[in-house]
Amino acid sequence: MQIQILKPDEADQFYFDEGCFILELSNSPEDPGMSIARATVKAGVTTKLHRLNGIVERYVILSGSAKVEVGESGEQQLSAGDVVIIPSLCSQRITNTGTEDLVFLAICTPRFTEKAYENIE
C-alpha cells in the first residue's frame, strides 16, 4: 500500500435505500481492511433494520441525537462523541431523535461491500 490523501467530493453523496445519505470517505479494494463512510439521517427518520455479514461496524456520532437498537440490547440514547460497536450479523438500526441532521461515521472492518448488507425487516 502507498500513502494516499483522499478528498471526497460532496457531489458523490447518495441516498441509500436503508434510509440515509452516504458519502464514502474511504472504501477501496486497494485498502480492503476497512472502510469509512459519513452517514446522514434526516430528523425523525429510522433506518431499516439490517445486519452486515462478516463485517464489524462502528458508528461514531459526529452531531445530532439518536437512539440505536443493536441486537438484543434494547434502545440506547446517543449524542455527539458516542461510539457504537456492532458485531457481524448483529441486527441494527438508528433513529434520528433530534430536529437537525444526525451525522455519524460508519467505520467497517473489513471494508463495506453491498453483498454483506442484509435487510432483515
Residue 17 CB partners (closer than 8 Å, separation 6+): 48
Q: How far apart (Å, rounded) are the C-alpha atoms in residues 75 and 79? A: 13
Domains of the chain: 34-119 (2.60.120.10)
Please state the pTM of the whole predicted model. 0.95
pLDDT, one tens digit per residue, over 20-73 is 999 999 999 999 999 999 999 999 999 999 999 999 999 999 999 999 999 999
Contact 84, 91 (CB under 8 A): no
For residue 1, the model assigns a pLDDT of 72
